[in-house]
Amino acid sequence: MRQSLLEQQAATIYQYKLIRRKVIRPELVQSHILIAVILLAFQLLMYRMDGLFSWLLGFAIVQVIHLVILLLAFIRVDDAVDRRWVWGITPPWFGFKPANDIRLALYRRVHRHLFWIGLCAVAVMYPWIQPSLFISIFCWHLWLIVPRMLLSLAFRKQRKDGILRLQKNEASYYHQ
């Protein structure tokens, strides 16, 4: 037997309204990729083949560091949907990103953790790794985190209980 919504005690309806959309321009994505190419050129010029190896290894190390930080950050998250992150190489969202829509407050908190704990992890490695690898790890970490932090900055005036949706060429903020 079907009941109307007014008769149902536990009915919940989610209606989100688009509050703000941030379009990511192709020029911005191209300049972001150009920075990675400049880093490669610098590594090749200064360290030759060790620089190329460090450039590639640095990217892999930063991905592992980010994965560990994400896993640690999600220990306290109650909702399993918020824990679903995927790895991808779609510009500008290189590395790990939310698989679904995510609460803005959680997005900000996770990326603050990624930024600061990632910097600390890089700093801890400093005495034991060669300079070319240190430069690569440090630059890759910043390269991966800066677009996400800029997005967080773009939505800083929005209410924290809203929803953020990341798509290939845009980021949208919704609120009930």
Q: What is the 3-state secondary structure (H, E, C) of 17-54?
A: EEEEEEECCHHHHHHHHHHHHHHHHHHHHHHCHHHHHH
Residue 4: what pLDDT?
Answer: 56
pLDDT for 13: 44
On whether the CB atoms of residues 44 and 52 are closer than 8 A, the answer is yes
What pLDDT is recorded for position 5? 47
For residue 97, report the phi and psi dihedrals to the nearest 5 degrees. Answer: -145, 160
Give the global pTM.
0.83
Low-confidence residues of the chain, pLDDT below 50?
Answer: 1, 5, 10-13
Q: According to DSSP H, which parts of the chain are helical?
A: 26-47, 49-73, 104-125, 131-154
